[in-house]
Amino acid sequence: GKQLFACLSDPWWRLNNLYWIEDEYGMAVKFNLRPWQEVLMRNMWYLNIVLKARQMGFTTAIDIFILDRTLFNANTRSGIIAHKKEDATAIFRAKVKFAYDRLPIDIKAKIGAKSDRAGELEFTNGSSIRVAVSMRSGTLQYLHISEFGKLCAEFPIRAQEVISGSLNTLHEGAFCFIESTAEGAGGHFYTMTVKAKELFDRGAKLNRLQYRFHFFPWFDDPKYQIEPEPDFVLTREYAEYFESLQSAIGRQLSIQQQCWYVIKAEEQGDKMKQEFPSTPMEAFLFSGRPVFDPNALNRAESRCEPPKRVVDVRISDGEWEDRPDGLLQIWQEPMEEESYAIGADVAEGLLHGDNSTGDIFNDRGQQVAHFCGHLDPDLFGQVLYWLAKKYNDAYLGVERNNHGHATLATLKRLDYRNLFVEELLDRDSEEETERVGWLTSQISKPFIIDNLSSLIRQDLSGIYCAQSVDECRTYVIDEKGRTNGQAGCKDDRVMSLAIGHEMLRRMPRASKRDQSRRKRGDWRL
């Protein structure tokens, strides 16, 4: 009696001993949390984004967890959303009702199902669990949205309904799991994943309305391996891929895992990285040819670090205010004897549009600070003024295309002198004229992008910001040969990186000592 009561009072014991599920062969087996499923449960937050490889059992684990919380907590409302009606029916039958029907008789006698309708169980303790394709009414304490990426890709109107309706059934302090494989960039799942990953990369302390990012790659599941044939040899392409991947993840993959991946990739083709991702952002890259070497980006990612400080720049006097949601990430504060260059990409400032971004590099080519946010162009000019002044009157290159003119006008009004100035030859008079700011054109853009690509390939990009690497991953060559962010992805950080490195190359200094330090890869801050 007492021992059983103690066991039933322990949610971890219940999850590993109480429930039965259907396995992939349709057989009834006792449910036990697999190691990667337990990692999710041990590290869950109130709101959770789960990006994962296929067939890792997260739908089952989350649904059993929610069923358990519903059964053993009175007056609890829980919901599960599937992306298709037939999936909702299957989840209810095979995961919720199957597990409940096979509970011990005494537990079912104490917590009975007083209402057993299609897609919903209502219990005698006042709790209920429902599976559907959408939920608007009532208040939920637990919500699981399964395969939300597929829902966004196939039914965008219904995905919007989930965002505006279902998520609003959650009160502050409720638990939500949005779980999916990737289904291309764009849509709500991609946007929410990128935002959650950015908070994760920054080491931000989350409030109850922010999502915690969880990623589970294919190699976390031990079933994804196979014994190689005696004559199995990795091609150079795969050998380079695994070498760079192991550098990025900080662990070695067995030859059995590598063999499985190669065989599966031959079967899956272009879908391999989407269905069985090794890193979060490669999951979303599905169209276009990558501009930057993916293996070099893996190596660059391995050198990324959380910022030392995250701040906002006060417009009135340029002072830094520490804020967990600040727009400026700092890896190195200004040092007295160093020279700095800044590259800036200017956006319109609309809340849901592109970001205005700025990257600050020291004279060794290290990214020492990164700004990203939605600001009106003139306000962005004031931020850049204070940043440039703080970083020893940095050499500042602002893209003058479109909205950049307003930013440059602010900098000229503030009398900032160390701006990049382009000298142009007047064809009629053959006289040179000066234009303040960097013009990104059909001629200049390939040059600075090729230069950034070369630096990344040589491990000389100096990138510390993980979000900068992420945008580089989804920067592609389209069918017309143009380079841009993949559809649904931003490329503002790519442009400020490229302009920043060009400013570094052109800034009036570059002693041979500085150049030699950069060439030998002295990246320590």
Residues 115-137, mean pLDDT to the nearest whole number: 88
> How is residue 21 written in tokens?
């599920």
- Of 101-105, 257-261, 476-480, the least confident: 476-480
Cα–chain center distance at 480 = 28
- Of 173-187, 369-383, 429-443, the least confident: 429-443
8 A C-beta contact, residue 366 and residue 330:
no
Q: How confident is the model at residue 288 (pLDDT cuts 50, 70, 90)?
A: low
Return d(Cα 268, Cα 157) in angstroms, integer.
29
The pLDDT value given to residue 511: 43
Q: What percent of the chain has pLDDT over 70?
A: 92
Which residue's structure tokens are 């890896």?
331
- Is residue 308 scored above 60 in pLDDT? yes
In which region does residue 53 sit, left (phi positive, over 0), alpha (psi from -120 to 50) or beta (all else)? beta
Helix%, strand%, coil% for the chain, nearest 5:
40, 20, 40
Q: How confident is the model at residue 7 (pLDDT cuts 50, 70, 90)?
A: confident
Contacts for 161 with CB less than 8 Å, ≥ 6 apart = 134, 136
8 A C-beta contact, residue 367 and residue 456:
no
The pLDDT value given to residue 317: 94
In the chain, the amino acid numbered 84 is K
Residues 160-181, mean pLDDT to the nearest whole number: 92
Residues 150-157, mean pLDDT to the nearest whole number: 89
8 A C-beta contact, residue 66 and residue 129:
yes
Indicate the SS3 state at residue 419.
strand
DSSP state of 245: H
In degrees, to the nearest 5, what angle opens at C-alpha 62 toward C-alphas 59 and 66?
A: 135
8 A C-beta contact, residue 116 and residue 131:
no
Buried b (16+ CB within 10 A) or exposed e, 265-297: beeeeeebbbbbbbbbbbbbbbebebbbbbbbb
Return d(Cα 46, Cα 37) in angstroms, integer.
16
DSSP state of 206: P
The pLDDT value given to residue 351: 62
8 A C-beta contact, residue 523 and residue 462:
yes
- Is residue 416 scored above 70 in pLDDT? yes
CA dihedral 155, 157, 162, 164 (to 10 degrees): 160
8 A C-beta contact, residue 490 and residue 357:
no
Return d(Cα 518, Cα 513) in angstroms, integer.
9
Indicate the SS3 state at residue 283.
helix
Return d(Cα 475, Cα 220) in angstroms, integer.
27
| Spatial CA neighbour of 344 closest among 393, 302, 381 | 381
The pLDDT value given to residue 287: 54
Distances (CA, A) of 140 to 54, 117, 151, 342, 343: 28, 18, 21, 48, 47
pTM, to two decimals:
0.84
- Is residue 53 scored above 80 in pLDDT? yes
In degrees, to the nearest 5, what angle opens at C-alpha 41 toward C-alphas 37 and 45?
A: 135
Buried b (16+ CB within 10 A) or exposed e, 407-431: bbebbeeeebebbbeeeeeeeeeee
- Is residue 106 scored above 70 in pLDDT? yes
- Is residue 394 scored above 50 in pLDDT? yes
H helix intervals, 155-310: 156-161, 187-201, 236-249, 255-268, 272-275, 294-302
Looking at the DSSP bridge assignments, the partners of residue 476 are: 290, 484
Residues 235-256, mean pLDDT to the nearest whole number: 94
Q: What percent of the chain has pLDDT over 90?
A: 71
8 A C-beta contact, residue 509 and residue 393:
no
What stretch of H or E contains 395?
A: strand 395-398
Residues 135-149, mean pLDDT to the nearest whole number: 90
For the chain, the C-alpha Rg in angstroms (whole number) is 27
The pLDDT value given to residue 520: 41
- Is residue 500 scored above 80 in pLDDT? yes
- Is residue 148 scored above 60 in pLDDT? yes
CA dihedral 34, 39, 42, 47 (to 10 degrees): -110
Strand 475-477 with 483-485, pairing: antiparallel
Return d(Cα 493, Cα 468) in angstroms, integer.
6
| Segment 184-241, tens digit of pLDDT | 777 899 999 999 999 999 988 999 999 999 999 999 999 999 999 999 999 999 999 9
Per DSSP, which regions of 110-237 are E strands? 113-117, 120-123, 128-132, 140-146, 170-180, 211-216
Residues 144-166, mean pLDDT to the nearest whole number: 91
Q: How confident is the model at residue 251 (pLDDT cuts 50, 70, 90)?
A: very high
